[in-house]
């Protein structure tokens, strides 16, 4: 019971400590992401979204940023990630070609429809934009024949950092029905493995009476060193334990040691003292979102009064109901003296509608800036710019876009791609490890991503190569030996890699060396032939001269 008590107590504590945070997320969702606004309220199917809002602009700003994340960092029309060897640039072309092939295999596995990668990341992108974090799970599906990606509601997941600041404990609330639990963890006749204890007897009873009865379940990933061992279990060198715990029946259905967890929790911007992140976009835009709703409400009310103004009437002179609809007639006492004032007239109110529209436009601009909508596009080239001016312009873009793209690459794309790679590698998707080139042995794998920031950096490397060529050309006019300063082959390889040239386009170092040796040998043979020919010509000339003397 020690393990069960620990699981329940820790899970309940993690979820209970988020009370105020749930209220904040609800407020953010109400203003920017009404489809997700069910943190503290329960929505029924078919209930109208955003019925409390008067303008949709904050929703559109969040939508545009969320859509841009996938379009810019994971474009399906190009190879948006590369597999590289971490901390090691000395990889031969054969190694680079193996990594390119592995990247193509991984991309096909990720975009397999059953892997649900596109759906999961699309949901996570908008959670990231609105709340500054998202929760995804990556694993093999329950048939062990494909990857499976899922995005989970932030409401249902709580986590805790370890002493180095990484997420080490994760609890997810789940409400599957009895039928689903039976399919996953085995029913009465299920042949469960040793680490799978199966479903509780009450769940088995529910299968017969009400198979769609929902069961409260925790899925927990906890450090092995803190997880109790009632039966003397040993997790070996596995740092984590994955546990499926039936909360309603106080029953552990499965517990297994794992080398790495299945959850990927990218966080945008964190603050010390909290394991939960926040969205700098939503934080900056929330006051403006409240303001623009108030301004829109006032403008709407003022516009209605202009189109359908309130009326002032002399009570004693009106003989019928006031009819202000088209073609309506209002009867007035014929004896009323109009010099005392009109019987029926519009109520004129002071106001300045242009001021309201200017305030609304200014607020929209601030919300758009808060959601980085003015920093997402790569600056277009300007004709007549020098290479230095172009590189400075690109550098300025990188400095402005870095707060947006850097966390996405390291916390988001890299984490999910590395987990996919490890799963595929463990299941033999890339072939036997012995087939890997020698240059890839003894190191860990990392990822490099295509993004506007990466494109800009690659463009800078290409511009540096062009500038270097111009400088060498100018120097060689003064000293022909200046051409030996730069290793042109190495510089060309770096520039080609920087601009995204595929490795399969480039010959290996050994192939290039063989071709250089062949050309050098051919040149030497040609030189020897020319020398032999020259000697033959000299001999023939001398012979001809001797014959002439004899004659």
Residue 245 DSSP one-character state: E
Count of the separate structural domains present in the chain: 3
546 in a domain, yes or no?
Answer: no
Task: Please name the residue that has the structure tokens 């606004």.
Answer: 37
Paired tokens of 491? 């510089």
537 in a domain, yes or no?
Answer: no
How far is the CA of 2 from the CAs of 5, 221, 233, in angstroms?
5, 17, 13
- Is 127 found in the same domain as 236? yes
Q: Residue 176: name the closest of 188, 189, 185 by CA.
A: 185
- Is 492 found in the same domain as 445? yes
Report for 311-315, 348-352, 431-435, 501-505: range of highest mean pLDDT: 431-435
At residue 292, the pLDDT reads 92
- Is 392 found in the same domain as 315? no
How far is the CA of 151 from the CAs of 121, 137, 239, 272, 385, in angstroms?
7, 7, 24, 26, 45
Residue 190 confidence (pLDDT) above 60: no
At residue 293, the pLDDT reads 92
Paired tokens of 366? 């601030």
At residue 331, the pLDDT reads 63
Collapsed DSSP state (helix, strand, coil) of residue 505? helix
How far is the CA of 285 from the CAs of 68, 322, 355, 372, 437, in angstroms?
18, 46, 21, 11, 51
Paired tokens of 8? 């329940």
Residue 286 confidence (pLDDT) above 80: yes
Please, is 41 exposed, middle or buried when counting C-beta atoms within 10 Å of its C-beta (0-12, 13-18, 19+)?
A: exposed
At residue 378, the pLDDT reads 61
* Stretch 11-39: mean pLDDT: 94
Residue 497 confidence (pLDDT) above 90: no
At residue 217, the pLDDT reads 94
Residue 191 confidence (pLDDT) above 50: no
| Residue predicted with more confidence, 439 or 379 | 439
CB 308 within 8 A of CB 324: yes
Residue 229 confidence (pLDDT) above 80: no
471 in a domain, yes or no?
Answer: yes
| Residue predicted with more confidence, 35 or 231 | 35
Beta bridge partners of 140: 147
With pLDDT > 70 as the criterion, what percentage of the chain qualifies? 72
Answer positive or negative: Cα dihedral of 274, 120, 66, 34. negative
18-22, 82-86, 358-362, 374-378: least confidently modelled range: 374-378
449 in a domain, yes or no?
Answer: yes
Cβ contacts of 91-95, under 8 Å, gap ≥ 24: 91/439, 91/440, 92/437, 92/439, 92/508, 92/509, 92/510, 93/503, 93/506, 93/507, 93/508, 93/509, 93/511, 94/437, 94/439, 94/508, 95/436, 95/437, 95/438, 95/439, 95/440
At residue 105, the pLDDT reads 94
- Is 402 found in the same domain as 340? no
Residue 444 confidence (pLDDT) above 90: no
Residue 34 confidence (pLDDT) above 60: yes
At residue 351, the pLDDT reads 60
Residue 113 confidence (pLDDT) above 80: yes
How far is the CA of 110 from the CAs of 74, 85, 480, in angstroms?
12, 20, 53
What's the CA gap between 401 and 372, in Å, rounded?
8
Q: Going along 300-423, which residue ranges are E strands?
A: 311-313, 344-346
- Is 207 found in the same domain as 82? yes
* Stretch 225-230: mean pLDDT: 69
pLDDT tier for residue 219 given thresholds of 50, 70 and 90: very high
Residue 13 confidence (pLDDT) above 60: yes
Pick from 347, 372, 405: which residue ends a domain?
347
* Residue 221, φ and ψ in degrees, nearest 5: -120, 110
- Is 330 found in the same domain as 399? no
CB 93 within 8 A of CB 508: yes
Q: Residue 264: name the closest of 411, 144, 370 by CA.
A: 411
* Stretch 527-533: mean pLDDT: 77
359 in a domain, yes or no?
Answer: no
519 in a domain, yes or no?
Answer: no
Give the up-direction half-sphere exposure of residue 120: CA atoms within 13 A in the CB hemisphere.
25
What's the CA gap between 332 and 322, in Å, rounded?
10
- Is 393 found in the same domain as 271? no
Q: How far is CA 401 from the centre of its chain?
A: 14
97-106, 385-394, 439-448: least confidently modelled range: 385-394
* Stretch 499-525: mean pLDDT: 72
With pLDDT > 90 as the criterion, what percentage of the chain qualifies? 36
Domain span at residue 395 reads: 387-506
pLDDT tier for residue 379 given thresholds of 50, 70 and 90: low
- Is 406 found in the same domain as 266? no
At residue 140, the pLDDT reads 92
498 in a domain, yes or no?
Answer: yes
440 in a domain, yes or no?
Answer: yes
* Stretch 319-326: mean pLDDT: 65
What's the CA gap between 62 and 515, in Å, rounded?
55
Average pLDDT score over the chain: 81
pLDDT tens-digit profile of 146-185?
999 999 999 999 999 988 889 999 999 999 999 999 988 8
| Residue predicted with more confidence, 32 or 538 | 32
Length of the chain: 551
3-state SS of 390-422 is HHHHHHHHHHHHHHHHHHHHHHHHHHHHHHHHH
pLDDT tens-digit profile of 390-399?
666 666 666 6
Q: Residue 62: name the closest of 447, 371, 294 by CA.
A: 371
Centre a 10 Å sphere on the Cβ of residue 123 and count the other Cβ atoms it contains. 20
At residue 135, the pLDDT reads 97
- Is 252 found in the same domain as 105? yes
Residue 215 confidence (pLDDT) above 70: yes
- Is 323 found in the same domain as 184? no
- Is 108 found in the same domain as 165? yes
* Stretch 266-288: mean pLDDT: 93
- Is 274 found in the same domain as 417? no
pLDDT tens-digit profile of 301-317?
777 766 666 666 655 66
């Amino acid at each position: 019971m020690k393990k069960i008590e620990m699981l329940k107590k820790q899970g309940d504590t993690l979820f209970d400590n988020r009370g105020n945070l749930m209220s904040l997320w609800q407020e953010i969702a109400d203003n920017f992401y009404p489809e997700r606004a069910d943190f503290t309220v329960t929505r029924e199917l078919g209930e109208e979204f955003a019925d409390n809002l008067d303008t949709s602009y904050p929703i559109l700003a969040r939508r545009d940023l969320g859509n841009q994340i996938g379009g810019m960092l994971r474009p399906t029309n190009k190879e948006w990630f590369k597999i590289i060897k971490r901390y090691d640039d000395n990889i031969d072309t054969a190694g680079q070609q193996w990594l390119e092939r592995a990247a193509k295999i991984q991309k096909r596995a990720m975009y397999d429809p059953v892997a649900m990668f596109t759906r999961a990341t699309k949901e996570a992108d908008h959670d990231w934009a609105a709340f500054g974090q998202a929760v995804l799970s990556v694993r093999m599906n329950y048939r062990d024949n494909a990857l499976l990606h899922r995005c989970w509601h932030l409401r249902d997941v709580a986590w805790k950092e370890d002493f180095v600041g990484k997420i080490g404990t994760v609890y997810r609330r789940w409400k599957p029905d009895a039928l689903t639990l039976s399919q996953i963890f085995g029913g009465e006749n299920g042949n469960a493995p040793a680490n799978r204890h199966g479903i509780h007897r009450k769940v088995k009873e529910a299968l017969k009476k009400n198979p769609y009865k929902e069961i409260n379940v925790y899925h927990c990933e906890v450090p092995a060193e803190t997880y109790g061992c009632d039966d003397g279990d040993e997790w070996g060198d596995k740092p984590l334990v994955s546990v499926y715990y039936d909360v309603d029946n106080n029953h552990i259905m499965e517990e297994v040691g794992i080398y790495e967890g299945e959850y990927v929790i990218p966080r945008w911007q964190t603050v010390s003292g909290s394991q939960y992140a926040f969205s700098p976009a939503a934080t900056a835009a929330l006051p403006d979102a409240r303001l623009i709703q108030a301004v829109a409400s006032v403008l709407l009310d003022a516009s209605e009064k202009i189109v359908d103004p309130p009326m002032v009437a002399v009570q004693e002179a009106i003989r019928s109901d006031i009819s202000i609809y088209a073609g309506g007639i209002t009867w007035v006492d014929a004896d009323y003296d109009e010099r005392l004032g009109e019987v029926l007239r519009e109520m004129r109110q002071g106001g300045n509608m242009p001021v309201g529209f200017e305030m609304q436009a200014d607020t929209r601009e601030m919300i758009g800036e808060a959601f980085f909508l003015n920093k997402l596009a790569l600056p277009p080239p300007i004709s007549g710019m020098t290479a230095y001016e172009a590189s400075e312009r690109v550098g300025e873009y990188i400095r402005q876009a870095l707060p947006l793209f850097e966390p996405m690459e390291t916390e988001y794309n890299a984490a999910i791609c590395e987990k996919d790679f490890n799963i595929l590698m463990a299941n033999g998707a890339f072939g036997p490890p012995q087939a890997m080139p020698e240059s890839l042995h003894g190191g860990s794998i990392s990822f490099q991503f295509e993004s506007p920031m990466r494109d800009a950096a690659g463009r800078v490397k290409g511009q540096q190569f062009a500038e270097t060529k111009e400088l060498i050309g100018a120097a060689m006019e003064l000293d022909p030996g200046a051409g030996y300063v730069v290793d042109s082959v190495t510089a060309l390889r770096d520039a080609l890699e920087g601009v995204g040239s595929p490795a399969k386009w480039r010959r290996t170092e050994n192939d290039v060396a063989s071709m250089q040796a062949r050309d050098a040998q051919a040149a030497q043979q040609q030189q020897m032939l020319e020398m032999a020919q020259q000697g033959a010509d000299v001999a023939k000339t001398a012979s001809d001269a001797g014959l002439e003397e004899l004659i």
